[in-house]
């Protein structure tokens, strides 16, 4: 027996489509800015942010892939490109012969240090300057609740 589809109401559809449009446009603008102003792609920036947030600037491939919601092949290909540019290195895991770490290099740290001020200023001018503190708190609460539910799955 097929489940009944819970179609979106006009209000839900309007909110959902605007949320998606916001995400796509904001992501696109930030990506173009990073690439043109600092020669760092949005994907590079995401990897580097995660590596600067963990001790020793290193993380297992599978954990980084999970954190970024990337498929194994995408992670592998992108990290290979970053290795060739000197932003990260691949380090074998001594405890697990099949596992490996992605480790940020000095060049990777320099790249994110140069890109971060551009990124934060763009986040402010494109997004934060257009929401109230109360709206920002509400957005944070909604985001945390939905991400928490997604993490359960």
Query: In this predicted model, what pLDDT tens digit does every residue of 99-122 receive, in sequence order?
Result: 899 999 999 999 999 999 999 999
In three-state secondary structure terms, 58 is: strand
CA distance 116 to 35: 12
CA distance 94 to 97: 6
- Stretch (H or E) spanning 89: strand 88-92
Fold of the domain built from segment(s) 14-152: Arc Repressor Mutant, subunit A (1.10.10)
CA distance 52 to 75: 17
Task: Report the side by side order of strands in the sheet with 100-104.
Answer: 58-60, 100-104, 88-92
Q: Does residue 79 contact residue 47 with C-beta atoms inside 8 Å? A: yes
Per-residue pLDDT at 2 = 65
Q: How many CB atoms lie within 10 A of CB 88?
A: 27
Residue 90 has pLDDT above 80, yes or no: yes
Q: Locate the domains of the chain by residue range.
A: 14-152
Q: Percentage of the chain surpassing pLDDT 90?
A: 90
Confidence of residue 3 (pLDDT cuts 50, 70, 90): confident
For residues 124-151, average pLDDT: 96
Query: In this predicted model, what pLDDT tens digit does every residue of 18-75 receive, in sequence order?
Result: 999 999 999 999 999 999 999 999 999 999 999 999 989 999 999 999 999 999 999 9
């Amino acid at each position: 027996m097929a489940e009944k589809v819970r179609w979106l109401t006009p209000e839900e559809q309007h909110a959902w489509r605007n949320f998606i449009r916001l995400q796509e446009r904001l992501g696109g603008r930030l990506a173009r800015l990073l690439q043109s102003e600092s020669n760092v792609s949005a994907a590079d920036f995401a990897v580097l942010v995660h590596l600067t947030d963990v001790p020793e600037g290193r993380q297992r491939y599978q954990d980084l892939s999970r954190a970024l919601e990337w498929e194994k092949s995408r992670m592998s290909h992108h990290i290979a490109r970053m290795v060739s540019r000197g932003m990260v290195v691949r380090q074998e895991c001594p405890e697990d012969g099949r596992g490996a770490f992605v480790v940020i290099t000095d060049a990777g740290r320099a790249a994110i240090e140069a890109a971060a001020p551009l990124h934060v200023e763009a986040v402010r001018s494109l997004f934060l300057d257009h929401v109230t503190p109360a709206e920002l708190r509400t957005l944070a609460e909604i985001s945390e609740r939905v991400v928490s539910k997604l993490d359960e799955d």
